[in-house]
Structure 1
Amino acid sequence: RQDVQSNIKAASDELTSLQAEQDQMKAQLERLTIAEEENNKKAQKTEADIKETSKQVEQLEKEIKLLQEKLEKRNAILKDRARSLQESGGNVEYLQVLLGSSSFGDFVDRALAVSTIVDADRGILKETKNMQDELKTKQADVKSKLASLEDMKAELDEMTVQLAAQKKQKDALAKELKDKEAKNEELKA
């Protein structure tokens, strides 16, 4: 009788120990499930960020293409203007235009015309410079966003590997828990 009581007590102690171990495993399983859910959310957010950044890169590339086309047209105008200035002798031509006036009113009209031409040339040069600066800025933005995109993709790949490892660990833990529950039931019986 004493042996039976001793066996019952040992089985009861082992049952209590197994129950505590099961509770620990359940808590660990819960933590793994929460971590897996958080990683899934992060992965989904990262994928959304990747899509958004890809759209921004596409838009920037379109804008860059338009700017390059405008710059090519602007450069053609500047080349023509520079060629005509070189052929006509530059500032000397302006002086001849001013000195060739027949009256004071004609002189003022010619001076305004020369001033308008010079201002237009300056405006073209200034706009061209601004376009070139804008183009450089947008190209730098594209490079930055592409680098960011690559970082996000690497992060997403890392998260995918972590998720797979967590799922494997969770599945192994769940199997171990079932085995211990079966053993626990066996001991009870």
Structure 2
Amino acid sequence: MDQDRRDAAAWAQEWRIRRKNRRILYIIGGILIAALIAYVISFVTIHSERTTYSSADEMKAALQGRYAGEDDFEDIVIDGDQVILTYYVFSHYDREYAELFGYEYDAEDTVFTDRVVEWDHRHGVIKTEWMGNLIVDKNGNLRREDFRGWVFYKTDIPHAEPIDPETLINPYGEEGAVMTPEEEEAVEEREDSIETDEEAQEEAEATDENDVQP
């Protein structure tokens, strides 16, 4: 009788161990399947929405040149491993804007310079020092990953030369001219973007200075 109880207890213990092991295997299997699905989705997304390259050199050679923002008041120029981002003053290039709101004589274009730290050809990503990742979409255009998906379009056309204020009919703008809510929002977003870039660049420069200190 005691032997039967011991056998039953041993069998019950073995059954619990087997059930626990099966549960662990199910969990591991579930994790592996989820990881595989995530990898497949990532792979498909990258190859369907991005341009990838066979090497970093091929990628670098293909992406040289100018990329214009949607309204052409921002652009990115890639020159070797250098990335130049420019925010152009509206009134210096848009004649209608200048006539309506006035020509900003003291304003200057805001120019940021960054450098490429990695040409990630397998994933279609230009990794920069402080500007964030630039994603190369399936059409060969650039998208700033951390800036609401802003797209910069590849173009061979250089940016327009600034307006000569002497050619404006009313360089001081119309009295009482008011922006539409959409225009105000666009200006605010632009100012926020410039401020964010300034902070990111300053932080990167401060980090570099700390790195070179003995």
Q: Give me the TM-score of the superposition, normalised by structure 1.
A: 0.31
Richer in strand (by share): 2
The structure where helix makes up a greater share of residues is 1
Higher relative contact order (CA 8 A, sep 6+): 1
Q: Which has the larger radius of gyration?
A: 1
